Amino acid sequence: MMRFVTAGESHGPSLTAVVEGLPAGLAIDEEKLNEALTRRQRGAGRGGRMLIEKDRVEVLSGVRFGKTLGSPITLSIKNRDWENWREEMAPFGAVSEHKRVYCPRPGHADLSGVWKYGFEDARPVLERASARETAARTAAGAMAALFLDHLGIQLAAHVRNIGGVVLPAECQPSVKDIREKAFLSPVGCVDAATAACMEARIAAAKEVGDTLGGIVEVRGEGLMPGLGSYTQWDCRLDGKLAQALAAIPAIKGVGFGDGFALADVPGSMAHDALRRDTQHGVSRVTNHAGGLEGGMTNGETLVVQAVMKPIPTLMKPLASVSLQDGSQAFASTERSDACAVPAAAVVAEMMTAWVI
Ligand code: EPS
């Protein structure tokens, strides 16, 4: 069985992922792992933190001379910002009163986390709830992507929507298109004109202290039919993908193929007619299903979308209540991103690789 866990706080010394179950003898290209981490850091709308961090993976176990050993693989990513947080995030020593967060941000884990774990303020919650942790998921997922590469399965993610600036629905890019265009775009979008509007929308939101969400899409080619199974609820590949993608911070919806738009059309327009195909025997005329039927891959391109809400840390904050004295207040503000949709696309790509 393949599994991984991550550890680490946003401003602690480092993030770690322990990855188990990859076969022995798999060639690991360290630079491919680092490329994924660098891609996740890029993007219009990122805040000051990304000027501090330069994510690189350090492999601490499970790989020797560039090949997996079959034993647990430990991946470590340093938090450069830790130097500025040694006192506030010290594992031992005197309790620091700095950087406490008493006014929970609506939309963030702050308040429910304080209630659940019984903290006095939200700092211990947000340190782990922070999307910084997705750097570790990205590193673990990038290991899986390397494995898939050996099997001829290629995935790539792009951005379809930022704050209501939408890539036209007829734009259905190939993995190659995404790699050649979206990977170089500051907003992760394949179309230059749409990308320019997205960038402008982000700049305008930032200007007024607001944040933006959007929609990311992962596309996969080379998937053989029959991955996943209809025979048991927890074997369905769409269910597993939905779990992994909905677990990325700020994701509020996951769709496959035409996704939520399938609610608007009759069955005759929703399904993908079959045709004889000299290469594969049978293929589809269309791909409304996004390559998944009955919880299994059907050999068509995998198409999965995830909807990201706008980031809850607002520079013009919403109303909140102080955890210190119960008084009406405004939510805490601190350095954050105005938009992290391009980063979420990379995380979604790597988590999709992991699930597959
Ligand atoms: C995040 C807040 C910001 C983001 C962070 C996620 O960090 P900071 O509070 O240090 O400015 O930059 O994302 C990352 C550090 C990252 O690597 O993606 C949050 O509250 O979720």
Pocket test for ligand 1, best of 46, 337, 339, 350 (most atoms within 8 A of CB): 337
Q: Is the CB of 301 under 6 A from ligand 1?
A: no
- Distance between CA atoms of 250 and 70, rounded to whole angstroms? 34
pLDDT value of position 174: 98
CA angle, 207 then 99 then 208, to 5°: 10
Mean pLDDT of all residues in 198-215? 96
pLDDT value of position 335: 87
Q: How confident is the model at residue 99 (pLDDT cuts 50, 70, 90)?
A: very high
Mean pLDDT of all residues in 194-205? 97
Pocket test for ligand 1, best of 6, 9, 10, 311 (most atoms within 8 A of CB): 10
What share of the chain has pLDDT > 90, as a percent? Answer: 96
131 C-alpha to center of ligand 1: Å? 6
129 C-alpha to center of ligand 1: Å? 10
285, two tokens: 């005329």
258 C-alpha to center of ligand 1: Å? 32
Q: Is the CB of 130 under 6 A from ligand 1?
A: yes
In three-state secondary structure terms, 314 is coil
pTM score, whole prediction: 0.97
pLDDT value of position 280: 77
Mean pLDDT of all residues in 192-201? 98
136, two tokens: 């570790």
**Amino acid at the residue 88:** E
pLDDT value of position 13: 97
pLDDT value of position 191: 98
- Distance between CA atoms of 212 and 249, rounded to whole angstroms? 14
Q: Is the CB of 70 under 6 A from ligand 1?
A: no
When the pLDDT of each residue in the chain is averaged and rounded to a whole number, the result is 96
Q: Which residue has the higher pLDDT, 47 or 132?
A: 132
288 C-alpha to center of ligand 1: Å? 35
Checking if the pLDDT of 195 tops 80, the result is yes
Q: Which of 119-133, 166-180, 249-263, 270-284 has the lowest mean pLDDT?
A: 270-284
Q: Is the CB of 131 under 6 A from ligand 1?
A: yes
40 C-alpha to center of ligand 1: Å? 12
Checking if the pLDDT of 125 tops 80, the result is yes
Pocket test for ligand 1, best of 77, 125, 336, 347 (most atoms within 8 A of CB): 336
Checking if the pLDDT of 350 tops 80, the result is yes
Q: Which residue has the higher pLDDT, 280 or 267?
A: 267
In three-state secondary structure terms, 49 is helix
